[in-house]
Amino acid sequence: MPFCPGCAKEVGEDITFCADCGQRLKKRSTSIVVWGYVCGIAALFIFPLGFGVAGVVIGIVNLTKGRVGHGIAQIVIAVTLGILGAIWGAMVWGG
């Protein structure tokens, strides 16, 4: 069960407001997690440097928001696929 950030009382899963203090309970958005993985994977196929850096930055943001598992995975994916994308691009385009 989650706890209210305002009064630390236990609250239900689908509750919007705390019954004790009235604090609005925010839901975690998963869109930034999804975009971190999208950028990491896109680094393999499209503009490895740009999407690789974006994936790392989003991974760091997720780390600071407490999503440690996603943050570390996104950083590793973005760096690895960014390097592979740069190598692949150099081989394909003869650079």
| Domain edges within the chain | 31-93
pLDDT tens per residue across all 95 residues of the chain: 678 878 888 887 777 788 888 888 776 678 888 999 999 999 999 899 999 999 999 999 989 888 889 899 999 999 999 999 999 999 998 75
pLDDT value for 11 = 81
Whether 78 contacts 43, CB under 8 Å: yes
Q: Minimal CA–CA distance to 43: which of 76, 87, 85?
A: 85
DSSP state for residue 46 in the 8-state scheme = S
Res 76: pLDDT: 94
